[in-house]
Amino acid sequence: MRITLFLLLLLSQLLFAESNLTQSVKTTLLELITPSSKEGSMLDTNGSKEKNATLSVNQIARDKLKQEMEAKKLEALKKEMEKRRELEIQRLEKEEKERQLLASRLTTLRDEKKEIDNYLAKDNLWNRVYTNHETYQQLSGDLERVEEKILALKEKIAFNKEEKSQLEKYMEERQVIEGKLILLKEYKNDPFKNLLEAPEIEAEPSLTNPIDIITAMSFQKQMESVKEDFTQRYISLEDAVSKLNRKSMLLQEIVIKTRGTTYNNYVDELRSTEHKLADFERTLKLLKTTVKAYKQDVSQMNFKINESIQHEVKKLIVTGSIILFLLIFFFFVKYLVKKYMSENELYYGTNKVINFLFIALVFLILLFSYLEDVENLVTVLSFASAGIAIALKDWFMSLMGWVVILVSGSLHVGDRVKFVKDGVEYVGDIVDISVLRMTLHEDVTLTTIYKNRRTGRMIFIPNNYIFTDMIANYSHSGLKTVWDGIDFMVTFDSNIAKAQSIAKEVTRKYSKGYTDMTRKQLNRLRSKYSMRNTAVEPRIFGFFDTYGVKISAWYLTNAYATLTLRSTISMEILSRLKEEDDIFLAFPSQSLYMDKSAPKNIELPPEEPPVQEVVSKKDEKYKPDEWGLY
| Domain finish residue from 473, 508, 526 | 473
| Domain finish residue from 117, 149, 167 | 117
Q: What percent of the chain has pLDDT over 70?
A: 79
Residues 64 and 92 in one domain: yes
**pLDDT tier, 551 (very low <50, low <70, confident <90, very high otherwise):** very high
Mean pLDDT, range 198-206, rounded to an integer: 81
**What would the pLDDT profile of 420-454 be if each residue is shown by its tens digit?**
888 888 888 888 888 888 899 988 888 878 787 77
Give the DSSP H or E segment for 490.
strand 481-490
Q: Is residue 559 part of a domain?
A: yes
Q: Is residue 86 part of a domain?
A: yes
Q: What is the CATH number of the domain that holds 524?
A: 3.30.70
Mean pLDDT, range 382-390, rounded to an integer: 65
Residue 257 has a pLDDT of 79
Q: What is the CATH number of the domain that holds 467?
A: 2.30.30.60
Q: Is residue 177 part of a domain?
A: no
Residue 624 has a pLDDT of 47
- Beta-bridged to residue 585, according to DSSP, are 490
What is the spatial distance between Cα 530 and Cα 510, in angstroms, rounded to a whole number? 29
Residues 427 and 489 in one domain: no
Which DSSP letter does residue 606 get? Answer: P
Residues 579 and 492 in one domain: yes
**Statement: residue 535 has pLDDT above 70:** yes
Per-position b or e across 113-142, b if 16+ CB within 10 A of its CB: beebeeebeeebebbebbbbbeebeebeeb
Domain that holds residue 438: 373-473
What is the spatial distance between Cα 572 and Cα 565, in angstroms, rounded to a whole number? 11
Judge contact between 543 and 488, C-beta under 8 A.
Answer: no
Looking at every residue in the chain, the average pLDDT score rounds to 78
**Statement: residue 596 has pLDDT above 80:** no
| Domain finish residue from 117, 151, 169 | 117
Residues 459 and 514 in one domain: no
Q: Is residue 533 part of a domain?
A: yes
Q: Is residue 395 part of a domain?
A: yes
Residues 466 and 488 in one domain: no
Number of domains in the chain: 3
Q: What percent of the chain has pLDDT over 90?
A: 6
Of the CA atoms within 13 Å of residue 576, those in its CB half-sphere come to 17
457 to 60, 328, 433, 439: CA distances (angstroms): 160, 38, 17, 10
Judge contact between 405 and 433, C-beta under 8 A.
Answer: yes
**Statement: residue 253 has pLDDT above 50:** yes
* Type of residue found at 628: G
**pLDDT tier, 377 (very low <50, low <70, confident <90, very high otherwise):** low
Q: Is residue 504 part of a domain?
A: yes
Residues 392 and 459 in one domain: yes
**pLDDT tier, 157 (very low <50, low <70, confident <90, very high otherwise):** low
Mean pLDDT, range 351-355, rounded to an integer: 79
Residues 517 and 494 in one domain: yes
Mean pLDDT, range 458-482, rounded to an integer: 84
- State the pTM of this model: 0.49
**Statement: residue 622 has pLDDT above 80:** no
Mean pLDDT, range 144-157, rounded to an integer: 81
Of the candidates 309, 292, 290, 301, the one whose C-alpha atom is nearest the C-alpha of residue 223 is 301
Where are the alpha helices (H) located in 409-495, listed in sequence order? 446-447, 465-468
Of the candidates 417, 430, 412, 397, the one whose C-alpha atom is nearest the C-alpha of residue 353 is 412
Mean pLDDT, range 541-560, rounded to an integer: 89
Least confident of 21-25, 109-113, 348-352: 21-25
